[in-house]
């Protein structure tokens, strides 16, 4: 793990008013000085004993949802211990605080909410549609409820309208901003006291929640577009008025609004859309590794997307940019390497329905009279070398389909990425993909699948996790440091290149497509450094210290137009110094002299 220190400019992430959260780790002198004598058990422990106890409790929970609730409570009562535990057991805990369990937690959010945090904890902003005119008051309330100086620098905002592949969960979607921000902290060392989850409680079109007596959001249908955009504008204006440097991640908005918000705001404020750009970036990184192993030239790939929403189109846009920039394939030819299947079949210009704006660019014009109505027909027509699932359809890549794609690719290794989340929406599992392709598959999934040992051998393969968790934390960290006026597509492209460069020789030798999750802190620092370099190269960075550092240490002769994802050691070293990490001993967080 990259060494990490607390950002000297940040207030401590552990609220000073709550020393009791350190509980049994408080030394006797501190207890005396703070009039706590007799209020905690007499043993004085170090943090690792507390950590062992917390881990024991975690292991004893019967279900993943119980583990989620326990971890949420821990985070809200002992932040330091929570992040020590998360970092030590990241591979085990990430699927609980993030996909897949976070999906279930969102579905149950209104039922478990009171048990996630003590009543005094402020865990984010809940902004009802009918209160958007009070945004300044809401922000003032927030400021008054957190320690002086805790100005948020990173926010994840959703309106809960498309939570993972689970659909419209209304206000219950709050679990996603909360979960994403925990990864910002764990993976990239953002200061937890400066992370602000926000849910726009704008109603829900999901009857299940409207009828649920325990639902905690406003009980009304979602507003029409005009009202949605006007209300969102009030919130974003209020937020940027109060915190002009804040980095905003749009998350899990339904696809038309995801594209609409990005178009409207991307040149005005420091923001990005995780589902379009973050997913595009992370899947491009895995794809770069996959095509190196596929055994055919990149230009011969025939790429079939199953699902044409914000994620599918976002990924394909990044792949086209890559084929054009890196492989010098003309844009028209690159675009022609892609086919999309949506709920009505292959997307063509003459299919007879009015295509949503985001589908138009990739609609086929070369199909003549052929219209494939489903995935099976599409496979026979396209004969894909790569199949990318962002459809939310569980088992869409069934055994027959997987075997057929394998059969169609006797030379090239098939690329199969079932990327829909959570696990209950994944197009196939790693085991299925391995079995049906004679273990030849180049695989990545949105939710982590277990390793697979090829029967009768000791050959155990590790599946790639193609999840935007590898890129949004370093993008946020890089943005916080370099302070670019906006996030550009070329910065996102640099991030993909940088992530693909982080694979270790061992991971490359084993044919893996992503770095192991246990190294995510190290890779996040490297990717953030590449982001900072690119922001400076493009002339958009506004923090003079980083401009000077990059100018004195240019990593390569890359231009702003064709990013190569490189960074200098000097910038990497400096980035690492700005990553927050939990304290190792109570003396780092509680002054010895009170």
Ligand X SMILES: NC(=O)C1=CN([C@@H]2O[C@H](COP(=O)(O)OP(=O)(O)OC[C@H]3O[C@@H](n4cnc5c(N)ncnc54)[C@H](OP(=O)(O)O)[C@@H]3O)[C@@H](O)[C@H]2O)C=CC1
Residues taking part in catalysis: 98, 180
Task: Work out whether strand 464-465 and strand 345-346 pair parallel, antiparallel, or are unpaired.
Answer: unpaired
Instruction: For residues 31 and 37, give the distance between their C-alpha atoms in angstroms, rounded to a whole number.
Output: 5
Asked if 392 is part of the footprint of ligand X (rule: CB under 6 A), the reply reads yes
x/- mask, ligand X, residues 275-304, rule CB under 6 A, reads x---x--x----------------------
| 3-class DSSP assignment, residue 87 | helix
Asked if 81 is part of the footprint of ligand X (rule: CB under 6 A), the reply reads no
Residue 162 labelled as part of a binding site: yes
Asked if 289 is part of the footprint of ligand PYR (rule: CB under 6 A), the reply reads no
Residues 6+ apart with CB under 8 A from 369: none
> Which residues in 235-254 contact ligand PYR (CB under 6 A)?
252
- State in angstroms the smallest separation of the CB of 264 from ligand X: 18
Residues 6+ apart with CB under 8 A from 249: 154, 155, 156, 157, 180, 271, 272, 273, 274, 278, 472, 476
Residue 537 labelled as part of a binding site: no
Give counts: helices (H), strands (E), the chain.
25, 14
Instruction: For residues 458 and 439, give the distance between their C-alpha atoms in angstroms, rounded to a whole number.
Output: 14
Task: Work out whether strand 452-453 and strand 386-389 pair parallel, antiparallel, or are unpaired.
Answer: unpaired
> Which residues in 234-263 contact Mg ion (CB under 5 A)?
252
Give the residue closest to ligand PYR by C-beta: 421
Q: Judged by CB, which is closer to ligand PYR: 252, or 507? A: 252
Asked if 275 is part of the footprint of Mg ion (rule: CB under 5 A), the reply reads yes
Strand partners, 273: 250
Strand partners, 197: 156
Contact 449, 424 (CB under 8 A): no
- State in angstroms the smallest separation of the CB of 274 from ligand PYR: 5
> Which residues in 509-568 contact ligand X (CB under 6 A)?
none
Asked if 358 is part of the footprint of ligand X (rule: CB under 6 A), the reply reads no
Binding partner of 344, given ligand PYR, Mg ion, ligand X, none, CB within 5-8 angstroms per partner class: ligand X
Instruction: For residues 445 and 258, give the distance between their C-alpha atoms in angstroms, rounded to a whole number.
Output: 22
Q: Looking at 150, 164, 304, 475, which residue binds ligand PYR (CB under 6 A)?
A: 164
Question: Burial level of 121, CB count in 10 A (0-12/13-18/19+)?
Answer: middle
Q: Looking at 72, 348, 467, 490, which residue binds ligand X (CB under 6 A)?
A: 467
Question: Burial level of 325, CB count in 10 A (0-12/13-18/19+)?
Answer: middle
Contact 251, 156 (CB under 8 A): yes
> Which residues in 327-356 contact ligand X (CB under 6 A)?
341-344
Place of tokens 């991030």: 495
**Tokens (6 digits) for 425:** 């929406």
- State in angstroms the smallest separation of the CB of 43 from ligand PYR: 42
- State in angstroms the smallest separation of the CB of 351 from ligand PYR: 27
Q: Judged by CB, which is closer to ligand PYR: 471, or 558? A: 471
> Which residues in 235-274 contact ligand X (CB under 6 A)?
255
Q: Judged by CB, which is closer to ligand PYR: 11, or 422? A: 422
- State in angstroms the smallest separation of the CB of 276 from ligand X: 8
> Which residues in 446-475 contact ligand PYR (CB under 6 A)?
446, 467-468
Instruction: For residues 414 and 443, give the distance between their C-alpha atoms in angstroms, rounded to a whole number.
Output: 9
CA atoms within 13 Å, Cβ hemisphere of 46: 4
Asked if 275 is part of the footprint of ligand PYR (rule: CB under 6 A), the reply reads yes
Closest CA to 25 of 56, 54, 63, 67: 54
Q: Judged by CB, which is closer to ligand PYR: 359, or 425? A: 425
Strand blocks (E) in 151-212: 154-158, 195-201
Point out the annotated binding site for a divalent metal cation.
251-252, 275
Residues interacting with ligand X, by CB under 6 A?
162, 164-165, 255, 275, 279, 282, 306-312, 341-344, 375, 390-393, 419-421, 425, 446, 466-468
Residues interacting with Mg ion, by CB under 5 A?
252, 275
Residues interacting with ligand PYR, by CB under 6 A?
99, 164, 252, 274-275, 421, 446, 467-468
């Amino acid at each position: 793990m990259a060494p990490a220190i607390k950002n000297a400019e940040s207030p401590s992430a552990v609220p000073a008013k709550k020393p009791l959260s350190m509980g049994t780790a408080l030394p006797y002198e501190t207890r005396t000085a703070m009039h706590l004598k007799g209020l905690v058990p007499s043993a004085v422990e170090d943090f690792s004993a507390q950590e062992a106890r917390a881990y024991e409790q975690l292991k004893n929970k019967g279900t993943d949802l119980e583990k989620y609730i326990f971890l949420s409570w821990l985070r809200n009562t002992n932040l330091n211990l929570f992040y020590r535990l998360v970092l030590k057991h990241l591979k085990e805990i990430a699927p609980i605080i993030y996909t897949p369990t976070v999906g279930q937690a969102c579905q149950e959010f209104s039922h478990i909410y009171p048990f996630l945090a003590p009543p005094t904890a402020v865990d984010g902003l809940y902004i009802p549609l009918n209160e958007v005119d009070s945004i300044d008051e809401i922000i003032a309330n927030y400021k008054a409820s957190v320690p002086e100086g805790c100005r948020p620098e990173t926010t994840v905002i959703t309106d809960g309208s498309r939570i993972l592949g689970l659909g419209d969960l209304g206000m219950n979607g709050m679990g996603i901003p909360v979960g994403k921000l925990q990864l910002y902290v764990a993976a990239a060392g953002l200061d937890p006291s400066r992370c602000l989850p926000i849910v726009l409680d704008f109603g829900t079109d999901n009857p299940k929640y409207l009828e649920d007596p325990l639902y905690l959001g406003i009980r009304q249908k979602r507003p029409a577009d005009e009202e949605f955009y006007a209300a969102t504008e009030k919130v974003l204006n209020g937020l940027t008025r109060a915190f002009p440097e804040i980095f905003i991640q749009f998350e899990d908005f339904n696809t038309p609004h995801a594209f609409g918000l990005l178009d409207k705001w991307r040149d005005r404020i420091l923001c990005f859309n995780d589902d379009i750009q973050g997913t595009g970036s992370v899947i491009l990184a895995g794809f770069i590794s996959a095509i190196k192993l596929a055994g055919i030239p990149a230009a011969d790939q025939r790429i079939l997307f199953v699902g044409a929403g914000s994620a599918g189109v976002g990924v394909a846009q990044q792949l086209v940019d890559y084929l054009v920039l890196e492989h010098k394939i003309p844009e028209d030819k690159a675009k022609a390497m892609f086919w999309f299947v949506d709920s009505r079949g292959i997307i063509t210009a003459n299919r007879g329905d009015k295509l949503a704006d985001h589908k138009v660019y990739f609609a086929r014009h070369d199909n003549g009279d052929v219209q494939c109505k489903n995935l099976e027909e599409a496979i026979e027509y396209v004969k894909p070398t790569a199949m990318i699932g962002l459809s939310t359809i569980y088992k869409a890549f069934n055994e027959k389909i997987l075997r057929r794609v394998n059969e169609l690719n006797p030379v090239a290794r098939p690329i199969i990425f079932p990327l829909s989340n959570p696990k209950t929406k994944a197009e196939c599992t790693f085991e299925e993909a391995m079995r049906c392709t004679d273990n030849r598959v180049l695989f990545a999934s949105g939710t982590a699948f277990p390793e697979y040992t090829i029967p009768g051998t000791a050959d155990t393969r590790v599946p790639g996790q193609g999840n935007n968790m590898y890129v949004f934390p370093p993008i946020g960290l890089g943005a916080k440091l370099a302070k670019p006026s906006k996030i550009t597509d070329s910065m996102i492209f640099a991030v993909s290149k940088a992530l693909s460069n982080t694979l270790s020789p061992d991971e490359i030798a084993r044919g893996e497509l992503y770095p192991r999750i246990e190294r995510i802190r190290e890779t996040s620092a490297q990717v953030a450094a590449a982001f900072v370099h690119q922001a400076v190269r493009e002339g958009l960075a506004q923090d003079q210290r980083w401009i000077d550092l990059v100018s004195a240490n240019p990593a390569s002769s890359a231009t702003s137009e064709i990013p190569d994802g490189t960074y200098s050691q000097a910038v990497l070293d400096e980035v690492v110094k700005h990553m927050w990490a939990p304290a190792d001993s109570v003396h780092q967080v509680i002054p010895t002299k009170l």
